[in-house]
């Protein structure tokens, strides 16, 4: 995921893809966010010009991220925000340690604003 030039990056984190969907709402629901909350999250992202990723914390503390893939789909991912990485390369190393069995993952830039 390429950082947006309009917002400074607070840090990078790895995310492992669970499923890809055609819409951000479907991806949030696939990540176990209730549909009405998913719709609220997507609507809130519109105020930022249609965010390329949406981070959420589920009941119980598990963090998920829904992000737009380079192909234009939406991926529901497990987010590993425990320790934000200072550089893209550091997050890439963490991601490579987490990936198993030909799973797909992304390095995500957590933006301020």
Question: Residue 59 belongs to what H/E stretch?
Answer: none
pLDDT tens, position by position, 76-86: 999 999 888 99
pTM: 0.82
Using CA atoms, how far residue 94 sits from 39, 41, 63, 73, 99, in Å, is 31, 28, 16, 24, 9
How confident is the model at residue 5, as a pLDDT? 44
pLDDT tens, position by position, 23-81: 999 999 999 999 999 999 888 887 766 677 888 888 888 899 999 999 999 999 999 99
How confident is the model at residue 30, as a pLDDT? 95
Contact 53, 108 (CB under 8 A): yes
Closest CA to 79 of 12, 27, 2, 14: 14
């Amino acid at each position: 995921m390429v950082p947006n030039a309009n917002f400074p990056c607070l840090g990078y984190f790895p995310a492992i893809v669970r499923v890809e969907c055609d819409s951000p709402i479907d991806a949030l629901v696939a990540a176990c966010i209730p549909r009405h909350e998913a719709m609220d999250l997507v609507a809130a992202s519109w105020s930022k010009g249609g965010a390329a990723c949406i981070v959420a914390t589920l009941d119980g503390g598990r963090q998920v991220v829904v992000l737009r893939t380079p192909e234009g789909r939406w991926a529901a991912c497990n987010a590993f925000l425990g320790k934000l990485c200072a550089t893209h390369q550091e997050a890439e190393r963490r991601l490579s340690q987490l990936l198993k069995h030909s799973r797909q993952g992304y390095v995500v830039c957590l933006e301020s604003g």
